[in-house]
A = this chain, B = another copy of it.
Amino acid sequence: MEKINLKRLADELHLSTSTVSRALQDSYQIGADTKQRVLALAQKLNYVPNPHASSLGSRKSNTIAVVIPEVFDSYFAQAVNGIETVAQAHGYHILIYLTHESEQQERAILRAFQGGRVDGVLMSVSAETTSTEHIAALQAQGVPVAFFDRAADGIETARVTTNDLESSCLATRHLVECGCSHIALLSIARQLSIERQRIRGYQNALAESGQLFREDYVVECTHDPEENYLAIRQLLEAHPEIDGLLVTVELLTVSAYQACHDLGRRIPADVKVVSFSNSRSAAILNPALTTIRQPAFETGKAIATLLLKALKNRHKNLGTDSVVLPSTLIVRASTATDIK
């Protein structure tokens, strides 16, 4: 297939390549008639601009990077779909990068962006991330960064999150109302702001109901299912009095159910479970899982809209808009009281 480039268009139209290039970029320097001739021929010959060449001219890649810990999670999958819906409507590509919860990988990814590969970055920080210089360095290079779900403290920019403190409080209160008096919490990374919020919500609800917060009831898991299974099993063996579990991360659900099952701790008769989860499977688990459902798709749409608005207005600085979208408690059989 013949390669259609600017030169080929220019030759056919008896124009210079720079005139053709400006016409295609809708430059004010080119008359309407010429523009129309150029566009008509470009369309007829199926001309596709070379993205690298046009990026050098306009300093735009029309690409947004989405940096997330994992796609293997309903929340992030739905958030990416929301981001993509908005990006596609504005003619932007999205580049999905996975950190696999590693700060080192997150640093390497952000470093690569300093070359100008992307116009902006939407990110949810890794569970390991404790410092923020790599994010600040990217901002200093003029690449706008915005956070969704997991924000980094100390970085001034726009963020879209959910009401983690309130929904965790709501979930814990629900367990208390269902009769639980020894509620444990499963976390993945206590340094993450969202996890700190969830732990605080849990503490608040315990305090409200006069229950003690116990450090040994908080288990910090990893992203390895086998390790998590063992850690949860150990918790339940060490503390047979535990009658409620607040699972703050979807991926821990399977391990929690399996540990309860293998120890003969019936859900919900012996242990009641609430999990932060956006999985459609929640309704068909054994037993059906009571969940805190986060507004994942809406969060993706909202953060992409904020970034694209800034890019359109050529703002490198996104401001410090902070949007909070509420999560929902969906009660199912894993916290039922009539089965006891």
Interface set of A (CB-CB < 8 Å, partner B): 1, 3, 48-53, 55-56, 61, 71-72, 74, 77-78, 80-81, 84, 93-98, 111-112, 114-117, 137, 140-141, 225, 253-254, 257-258, 261, 279-281, 283-288
Contacts and interface: CB of A to CB of B under 8 A. Distances in A.
Nearest to A49: B115
A51 B116 CA distance: 7
Contacts of A279: 281
6 contacts: A51-B112, A225-B280, A253-B284, A254-B283, A257-B284, A281-B281
Complex A-B, nearest 7 residue pairs according to Cβ-Cβ distance, in ascending order:
A286-B286, A96-B96, A72-B77, A52-B55, A1-B140, A257-B284, A48-B114
Contacts of A74: 72
B78 A72 contact: yes
B48 A56 contact: no
Contacts of A98: 80-81, 84
A233 B3 CA distance: 52
Number of copies: 2
Given A77-B72, A93-B95, A93-B112, A287 B286 contact: yes
A53 B57 CA distance: 10
A257 B282 CA distance: 12
A230 to B, nearest CB: 16
Given A48-B114, A286-B287, A77 B71 contact: yes
Contacts of A72: 74, 77-78, 81
Contacts of A95: 93, 95-96
Nearest to A85: B100
A115 B51 contact: yes
A59 to B, nearest CB: 9
B286 A117 contact: no
Contacts of A257: 284
B52 A116 contact: yes
Nearest to A72: B77
A114 B225 CA distance: 41
Contacts of A258: 283-284
Nearest to A54: B115
B254 A50 contact: no
A285 B280 CA distance: 12
A140 B285 CA distance: 48
A1 B137 contact: yes
A111 B96 CA distance: 19
Nearest to A257: B284
A279 B72 CA distance: 10
A191 to B, nearest CB: 24
A286 B332 CA distance: 13
A339 to B, nearest CB: 13
A53 to B, nearest CB: 6
Contacts of A288: 286
B71 A80 contact: yes
A65 to B, nearest CB: 9
A51 B117 contact: yes
